[in-house]
Amino acid sequence: MYVMVMGYVPSAKGQSLHAAPLLPLSALEDIRRGIRQTLDLLHDKGLVFGDLREANVLYLPEGEGRVLLVDFDCVGQDGVDRYSASLNPELRLGVGRRQITEKAHDCRNLEWMMGGLSRGVSGALS
């Protein structure tokens, strides 16, 4: 059985990290912590997100700064499932087509993504 849950997030409330304007330095730790918590939930269930990149992370800065992962169509079982044969190499996920999914891929992509975000912060403290 499959269940799809959808909700609309207006851009005034939050947007993907890919489309977000310059983020304040103080937001980076909230973003890392939010993504890490979500990955931990998946990894504890033996699952790999598989498509961790800026376009698939929504940042909602209101309040404490929530982070939501979107686009779960690449989720697979750690060490069992494989990435798609039609995986786009231009996404630069550090994995190959039909490669076995591993939790370590999510962790590595989190570090790559956060490194890229830290190079593009505004430096403002809020």
pLDDT in tens, 21-64: 677 777 888 899 999 999 999 999 999 999 999 999 998 877 66
- Those residues with Cβ within 8 angstroms of residue 24's Cβ, 6 or more apart along the chain or in another chain: 121, 122, 123, 124, 125, 126
More confident residue, 105 or 9: 105
The residue ranges of every structural domain in the chain are 18-117
Could you read off the pLDDT of 85-118 as tens digits, one per residue? 999 988 888 999 999 999 999 999 999 999 888 7
* pLDDT surpassing 90 at residue 17: no
What CA–CA distance (Å, rounded) separates 65 from 44? 23
Q: Specify the fold of 18-117.
A: Transferase(Phosphotransferase); domain 1 (1.10.510)
Kindly report, residue by residue over 67-86, the tens digit of the pLDDT: 899 988 899 999 999 999 99
pTM, 2 dp: 0.83
pLDDT score, position 40: 97
